[in-house]
Structure 1
Amino acid sequence: MKKRLTVLLILFTGLLLAQHNYPTPPDAKTRLFYIQHSNNHNTFVYDANLTGKKLNTADPVAVYRLTYTKGGIKEELSNVQRKMAYGVTVVSTEPGSCSFTLAAYPAKKIYVHLEKDGKPEATVTVNGKNILLNKMFLLANKLGTTVEYIDFYGKDTATGKEVKERMYIK
């Protein structure tokens, strides 16, 4: 019995620490947020696409991956990644703002706007909280075909406090 409890504790601790030791992408002035997942450390990065100091309304969000399994090189998304998972569909654009969805979850809108100083920001509503998004973490099956939940990290826009909100995928 004691041995089983120890094994369960180790497994549970491993799940809690699953995101530790993940690389943080280099900061960028146009960074909106990034996505990491449980299968490896490769990271999908979302940057605002600016023309001068304005949001490019024709193509407002640039998406690429940092392939840490190959030393952190920057690569374009594959067709499958773009169409089935990490690609974006722009829903609407206005001068200085847009909204978009991710290919894997078109029900969740992400909003982009430029602050007064020209810094782009992405916001999303999760569990009734409006979050200034910094990153997402996906807990996926081994094949990466099913996601159990998504953790959203950022700041609560109402309080300014750091938050993590979990959304279970049904």
Structure 2
Amino acid sequence: MKVILLTHEREVSRLTNTGLVALERFPDWCARVIWSRVEPDDEIVDLLSSKRAAVLFPKPVLSKETGDSMVQAPMEELNLYLNEIPEIIIILDAIWQEARKMIRQSPYLATANKYALTQGGDSQFNLRRNQIPGGLCTLECIIQLCHSAKMSEEALELEAAYIALNQR
């Protein structure tokens, strides 16, 4: 598994950026690219258009009564979700409001294959406010991906670092 953090420019200087933990500990399989609305990264665009990578993003949830999507995403996007973890996963490294904006303002992200984590639960990250229900921080996502990819040692190391960071 390779993880690419597509990082919003505001996230780079935030002391609460959890993606940095994975970048520092596992630079052999975790990398960072700064997102730009006007100048998309050519490698990211190529990876997504060739279907060798997918964007980690929650799957829309449908209301049984109305059939309406409870997450802001059109129904046709459900077809973009993969059932298997891709070899290369791109994580939008940003607060949720910025991550949604990144998807909306970047057609190559909106139309890319997606992968959604299957484990539920709310974030335990307490260093930021305004968390959305079920929305995990970047490091929580990477830890779950490591477990899914049978990278247990890496997951345990990241979990320990996450606990220490979250207790600051």
TM-score of Structure 1 vs Structure 2, range by shorter chain: under 0.3
Q: Which is richer in helix?
A: 2
Q: Which is richer in strand?
A: 1
Higher relative contact order (CA 8 A, sep 6+): 2
TM-score normalised over the length of structure 2: 0.27
